[in-house]
């Protein structure tokens, strides 16, 4: 090695220098030779030891035995949770999801005011698990299990029942499905019927605060009758209804493949009920549109309802302006009774005012007729604001709505309701 030769030359120079120093001091020749031999032997031993270390290192590098030191683990990295949820069956992909939605509801019924701490029924607190696997390239087998838990649901509390307790777990989905892009989707178990959500299509970005289901917020509040100075037995939820199909039930459902934005679905409910629905979703450079319509027959599940027709449509323009409409008709089994109807409209705007996330504003109006009693006319007008906080996966919302009921022989006060809260998704 070249560097070993350089060391030896350096040692010879040192020895020559020491010899000169010794001669200059009058040291005897034998003493000089003895001392120099000791120095040379010591230096040679050091050179041999260094040579062995270098040879060993070279062999490790040549055999790729060199290992990069592991990075020092920071406390945050050590505590960071894994994003992977695994199944006992390695063929199945599992997803955990859920949300918490808590708010404060202030209500004035014309006689008294009350403040409630509630679970927002517009989009309730829930927890779910999805599972899926692909037994074939064109087929997906999936499962969905979802439960809801509400403490003081916003559609239930009122002056006489300021809090709700008991078993508030509700099974929303216990579902198995088989899906193919070519043949469509078959679902069995408890889940959405074909007509569920068909009167609730809404692209406003404010559905956590309000949508066509007026009774979801303050639905349990009782109208105050000024003519008798007493609370009536009539709730907001009795006179406002969006006739949204057959909800979630144990059913067998089939969805067609999507063709040019259109799809259809039908379901048979455990018992004698059933429904059919048509859906559309489209998008251009200027706007996005979604719509749905359905016919539903509850069968033996209802002694009063013969069938229902409902539908909704919503459009969202590129500039953030949006509009939503919904309507429905319910045919009753009672002879001589006018069939109830509902109409709903919303106008909204989605803006990017804050770096935290989009801000959505809307105003809505709903009119229900003959829902609880023949001749009833119920109106509701509302204002909504939703602020998205993207970094926190959270939405802050604020809504206000007044409800009025015109019924023959009564003099009901309007009910004013304000709701504010947070929805956190995970």
Residue 412 β-bridge partners: 225
Of the pLDDT bands very low, low, confident and very high (cuts 50, 70, 90), residue 300 is: confident
CA distances from 279 to 71, 203, 241, 276 (A): 54, 15, 21, 10
Task: Please give the Cα distance from 310 to 332 (Å, whole number).
Answer: 15
CA distances from 307 to 146, 274, 303, 356 (A): 28, 10, 11, 45
pLDDT at residue 70 in the model:
39
Taking a C-beta distance cutoff of 8 angstroms, is the pair 353, 326 a contact? no
Q: What is the mean pLDDT of the chain?
A: 86
pLDDT at residue 271 in the model:
73
The 3-class SS string of 88-117 reads CCCCCEEEEEEEEEEEEEEEECCCCEEEEE
SS3 41: helix
Query: What are the pLDDT digits (tens) for 159-212?
Result: 887 666 555 789 999 999 999 999 999 999 999 999 999 999 999 999 999 999
| Mean per-residue pLDDT, 225-242 | 96
Least confident of 28-32, 128-132, 151-155, 156-160: 28-32
Handedness of CA 296, 297, 301, 306 (dihedral sign): positive
pLDDT at residue 270 in the model:
79
Count of residues making up the chain: 426
**Position 14 pLDDT exceeds 60:** no
């Amino acid at each position: 090695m070249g560097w070993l030769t350089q060391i030896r030359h350096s040692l010879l120079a040192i020895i020559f220098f020491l010899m000169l120093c010794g001669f200059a001091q009058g040291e005897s020749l034998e003493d000089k030779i003895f001392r120099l031999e000791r120095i040379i032997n010591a230096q040679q031993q050091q050179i041999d030891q260094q040579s062995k270390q270098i040879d060993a290192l070279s062999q490790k590098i040549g055999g790729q035995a060199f290992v990069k030191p592991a990075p020092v683990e920071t406390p945050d990295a050590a505590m960071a949770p894994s994003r992977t949820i695994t199944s006992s069956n390695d063929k199945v992909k599992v997803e955990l999801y859920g949300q918490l939605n808590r708010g404060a509801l202030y209500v004035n019924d014309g006689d008294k005011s009350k403040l409630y701490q509630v679970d927002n029924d517009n989009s309730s607190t829930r927890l779910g698990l999805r599972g899926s696997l692909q037994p074939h390239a064109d087929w997906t087998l999936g499962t969905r299990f979802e439960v809801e838990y509400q403490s003081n649901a916003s559609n239930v509390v009122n002056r006489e029942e300021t809090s709700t307790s008991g078993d508030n777990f509700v099974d929303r989905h216990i579902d198995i499905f088989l899906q193919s892009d070519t043949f469509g989707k078959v679902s069995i178990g408890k889940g959405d019927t074909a007509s569920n959500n068909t009167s609730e299509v809404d692209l406003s970005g404010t559905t956590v605060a309000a949508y066509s289901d007026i009774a979801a917020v303050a639905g349990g509040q009782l109208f105050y009758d000024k003519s008798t100075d007493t609370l009536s037995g009539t709730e907001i939820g009795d006179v406002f209804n969006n006739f949204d199909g057959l909800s979630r039930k144990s059913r067998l459902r089939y969805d067609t493949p999507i063709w040019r934005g259109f799809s259809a679905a039908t379901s048979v409910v455990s018992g004698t009920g059933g429904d059919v629905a048509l859906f559309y979703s489209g998008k251009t450079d200027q706007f996005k549109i979604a719509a749905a319509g359905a016919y539903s027959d509850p069968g033996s599940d209802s002694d009063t309802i013969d069938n229902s027709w409902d539908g909704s449509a919503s459009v969202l323009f590129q500039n953030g302006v949006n509009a939503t409409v919904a309507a429905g008709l319910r045919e009753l089994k009672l002879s001589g009774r006018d069939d109830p109807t509902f109409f709903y409209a919303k106008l909204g705007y989605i803006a990017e005012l804050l770096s935290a996330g989009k801000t959505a504003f809307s105003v809505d109006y709903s009119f229900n007729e003959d829902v609880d009693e023949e001749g009833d006319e119920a109106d509701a007008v509302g204002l909504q604001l939703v602020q998205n906080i993207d970094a926190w996966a959270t939405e802050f919302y604020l809504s206000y709505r007044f409800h009025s009921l015109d019924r023959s022989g009564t003099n009901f006060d309007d009910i004013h309701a304000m709701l504010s809260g947070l929805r956190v998704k995970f």
